[in-house]
Amino acid sequence: MKIKAIKTSTLNVSAPPPRNTYYPHNTYVVARIQTDEGLEGLGYTQLVGGDGASSVRAYLEDNLVPRLLGEDPLHIGKLWQKMYDADRGLRKKGIPMYAISAVDIGLWDLFGKSVGRPLWQLWGAVTDRVPVYGGGGFLSYTVEDLVKEAEATFAIGARHYKMKVGLPNVMENVERVRALRKAVGDDVHLLVDVNQRLDVHTNIRLANLIEPFNIFWYEEPVYADSISQCAEVARRINIPVATGENEYTRYGFRDIVEQKAAAILNPDSMRCGGFSELLKICHLAAAYDIRIAPHLAPELSVHVLAAIPNALLLEWSITRTPIWREEPRVVDGLMSVPSRPGHGMEFSEAALSKYLVK
Ligand SMILES: [Mg+2]
């Protein structure tokens, strides 16, 4: 089997209210890998708010596609390395790794389809359903928005909800956490996410102030570029630190693990290097008993979490735009893995006609 063509496209998917108070849309850069035997693998990556999408697509078309045409798509390890070694002047973080991730996801989809099996089975199934947590809780939300989204999350059986706490006024964050905890009671888990917005000392102060509200994890306290500062926060607060949505490849996660910068890792399959690299990161973490709660793309990450011993939670959102032919199913707070071959996802006709921009 040979790769005959890789067709790229872009979808701008509108965010629903109240999420659209934070960003109006997310952008998917799509790579459809087509073979001489008629099989097609669907690869994609997602740019939050659309930032960088045209650059990712250009990198994919200019630097990756020419190197892949004519290759056997089932030699995924060889092709991943070929993409990684494609140039020596752009470090494989950010734009290049979003593009490599999209292709890798498409190659694995193709491989699963070629053998008629879903990916979680090919990787050695541990389970067939994975618990989700509710993401959202943006800084632009009112407290009423927070409470409503959290309660809707708990209503589908999830036991964890995450809110943002990166407001510059520390006490404003504390009051929002206090109000949400008061509204939802003590029987559910609350998670907080700083999104790299605060410095080390402000993080320590904030974490100490919200510790009495029983916080499950404290996410991405400082700039992702500064692992040593994240490690300092992790050492000096009593809430477990989670990080990794802005980290890339086994090398980046090795540094987080070696520096003890996090108790929980949040790799994003659409950024960190695709399924190939996400599996390596999960196995590296397993050797340290560090658990994995991937960032975004639950429909993809569910395959990996169902096949590793150190799965924690999938990021799900109750406020999302349906875009799939078959939407992921969450019952009693658990997402079932699809039985369809490959990753099993395809954009719905309605989503394509509404959101495809070119
Ligand atoms: Mg985050």
CATH number at residue 306: 3.20.20.120
3-state SS, residue 27: strand
The pLDDT of residue 184 is: 98
CA distance 349 to 265: 34
Determine whether 260 is an active site residue.
Answer: no
Average pLDDT over every residue of 190-204: 98
The closest alpha carbon to 119, from 107, 135, 131, belongs to 107
Measure 133 CA to ligand 1 centroid, in angstroms: 12
Measure 193 CA to ligand 1 centroid, in angstroms: 6
Residue type, 92: K
Mean pLDDT of the chain: 97
CA distance 76 to 83: 10
Per the CB < 8 A criterion, the answer to whether 224 and 249 are in contact is no
Structure-token match 């991730």, residue found: 101
The residue length of the chain stands at: 358
Per-residue pLDDT band for 358 (boundaries 50, 70, 90) equals confident
The pLDDT of residue 87 is: 84
Question: Domain check: are 92 and 134 in the same one?
Answer: no
Question: Domain check: are 22 and 164 in the same one?
Answer: no
Characterize the bridge pairing of strands 291-292 and 264-265. parallel
Question: Domain check: are 289 and 247 in the same one?
Answer: yes
Structure-block tokens of residue 131: 């618990």
Structure-token match 């067939």, residue found: 128
CA distance 356 to 351: 8
Characterize the bridge pairing of strands 314-316 and 330-331. unpaired
Per-residue pLDDT band for 30 (boundaries 50, 70, 90) equals very high
The pLDDT > 90 percentage for the chain reads 97
| Residue 342 covered by a domain | no
Contacts of residues 174-179 at CB distance under 8 Å and 24 or more positions apart, as own/partner, are 174/206, 174/209, 174/210, 176/143, 176/146, 177/210, 177/213, 177/215, 178/213, 179/143, 179/146, 179/147
Q: Which of 295, 303, 343, 358 is catalytic?
A: 295
The pLDDT of residue 300 is: 98
Q: At what angle do helices 200-210 and 170-184 cross, to 10 degrees?
A: 30
Domains in the chain, number: 2
Question: Domain check: are 273 and 160 in the same one?
Answer: yes
Question: Domain check: are 248 and 321 in the same one?
Answer: yes
The pLDDT of residue 39 is: 98
CATH number at residue 39: 3.30.390.10
CB-CB neighbours of 110 under 10 Å = 25
Average pLDDT over every residue of 13-24: 92
Average pLDDT over every residue of 5-25: 95
Average pLDDT over every residue of 97-122: 98
- Domain residues for 102? 3-116+348-355
Q: Which of 113, 164, 303, 343 is catalytic?
A: 164
Q: Does the predicted model carry a pTM greater than 0.95?
A: yes
CA distance 169 to 184: 23
Question: Domain check: are 63 and 41 in the same one?
Answer: yes
pLDDT digits (tens, 9 = 90+) for 238-280: 999 999 999 999 999 999 999 999 999 999 999 999 999 999 9
| Residue 341 covered by a domain | no
pLDDT digits (tens, 9 = 90+) for 53-75: 999 999 999 999 999 999 999 99
Measure 294 CA to ligand 1 centroid, in angstroms: 10
Per the CB < 8 A criterion, the answer to whether 151 and 319 are in contact is no
CA distance 226 to 220: 11
The pLDDT of residue 179 is: 98
Measure 229 CA to ligand 1 centroid, in angstroms: 17
Q: At what angle do helices 249-258 and 227-236 cross, to 10 degrees?
A: 40
Structure-block tokens of residue 88: 């020596």
Structure-token match 């080390």, residue found: 200
CA distance 130 to 304: 10
Measure 5 CA to ligand 1 centroid, in angstroms: 35
